[in-house]
């Protein structure tokens, strides 16, 4: 199967997720479901997410800021590479982080450079990284207490780089001393932690 065929299939599946069709396993059954007029809209998500494209800025911004499974799936389809497991790489995490912090907090390239350096020192952008005695987790090296307090399970946090970036950026944004990645990096250089 060619890369373009895989992307086309992924785009179809994402659009089906966005309109609420469930139980579709292949493009053929999607056509059958649409032609037969069956629409199983038993979607459990309360958040409406349209499929983001490079030209649809509003839905792209919403997708990069959302925690919903549909939004994360649609963002993964926009990634520059589409091979299986690409989202587990540090390259993907950096690609996602740059877009998330720009969309959610308006941080510019300078701020992203500070964030990139900060998290490189913390975890080398590895989503499975853990700190001293397993107390700190993931790309931003958040404590287990902070992860649990956010309402995200530890297992889900460890397996989803998008959630790690979202929670790590939120921690920096709303921490009293920081507000921006450059201030957090300055604190890390001065004290050894952030």
Q: What's the pLDDT score for residue 55? A: 53
Torsion angle of alpha carbons 11, 14, 15, 16, nearest 10°? Answer: 120
pLDDT tens figures, 131-189: 888 899 999 999 999 999 999 999 999 999 999 999 999 999 999 889 999 999 999 99
Whether 32 shows a pLDDT value over 60: the answer reads no
pLDDT, averaged across the chain: 79
Domain regions of the chain by residue span: 1-78, 89-194
Residues 114, 80: Cα–Cα separation, whole Å? 23
Arithmetic mean of pLDDT, 22-43: 38
Q: Detail the DSSP E strand segments found in the chain.
A: 136-137, 142-143
Arithmetic mean of pLDDT, 46-67: 61
């Amino acid at each position: 199967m060619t890369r373009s065929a895989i992307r086309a299939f992924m785009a179809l599946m994402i659009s089906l997720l966005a309109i609420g069709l469930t139980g579709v396993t292949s493009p053929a059954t999607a056509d059958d479901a649409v032609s037969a007029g069956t629409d199983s809209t038993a979607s459990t998500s309360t958040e409406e997410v349209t499929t983001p494209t490079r030209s649809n800025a509003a839905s792209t911004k919403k997708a990069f800021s959302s925690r919903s499974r549909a939004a994360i799936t649609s963002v993964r389809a926009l990634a520059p590479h589409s091979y299986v497991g690409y989202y587990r790489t540090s390259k993907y995490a950096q690609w996602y982080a740059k877009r998330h912090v720009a969309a959610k907090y308006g941080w510019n390239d300078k701020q992203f450079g500070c964030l990139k350096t900060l998290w490189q020192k913390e975890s080398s952008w590895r989503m499975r990284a853990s700190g001293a005695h397993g107390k700190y987790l993931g790309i931003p090296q958040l404590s287990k207490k902070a992860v649990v307090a956010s309402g995200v399970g530890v297992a889900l946090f460890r397996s989803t780089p998008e959630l790690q970036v979202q929670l790590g950026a939120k921690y920096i944004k709303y921490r009293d001393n920081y507000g921006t990645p450059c201030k957090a990096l300055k604190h890390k250089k001065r004290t050894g932690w952030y």
